[in-house]
Structure formats: C-alpha cells, structure tokens
C-alpha cells in the first residue's frame, strides 16, 4: 500500500523503506554509522 498518490517516487520510497527496515533489523542492538547505511542502500 502506498502512502499517498501512486507515482514512481512513492514506489521507490516504499522499496527504500523496506530495504532500510531489513538493514536495521540485521543490525539490531548495534550502533550503526549513517554513512554505512547510505553506502549499503546506495542513497
């Protein structure tokens, strides 16, 4: 389900949030560096 509208931007944001959620789930309980997250997710 998309938050608002049905544009490509919303689809991309949804995929990015899913990828971020998966990344953070794997690092749960550890300190993470935002630069590492950006590099991993290619943002």
Domain count across the chain: 1
1 domain-assigned: no
Domain carrying residue 29: 8-41
15 domain-assigned: yes
What are the tokens at 26?
């794997």
- Spatial contact of 27 and 2, defined as CB atoms under 8 Å apart: no
> How many angstroms separate the CA atoms of 6 and 2, rounded?
7
pLDDT (tens digit, 0 to 9) for every residue of the chain, 43 residues total? 445 556 777 887 889 899 999 999 999 889 999 999 999 888 8
pTM: 0.60
3-class SS letters over the chain: CCCCCCCHHHHHHHHHHHHHHHHHHHCCCCCCCHHHHHHHHCC
> How many angstroms separate the CA atoms of 30 and 11, rounded?
29
């Amino acid at each position: 389900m998309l938050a608002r509208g049905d544009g490509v931007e919303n689809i991309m944001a949804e995929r990015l949030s899913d990828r971020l959620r998966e990344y953070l789930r794997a690092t749960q309980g550890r300190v993470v560096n935002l630069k590492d997250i950006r590099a991993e997710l290619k943002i």
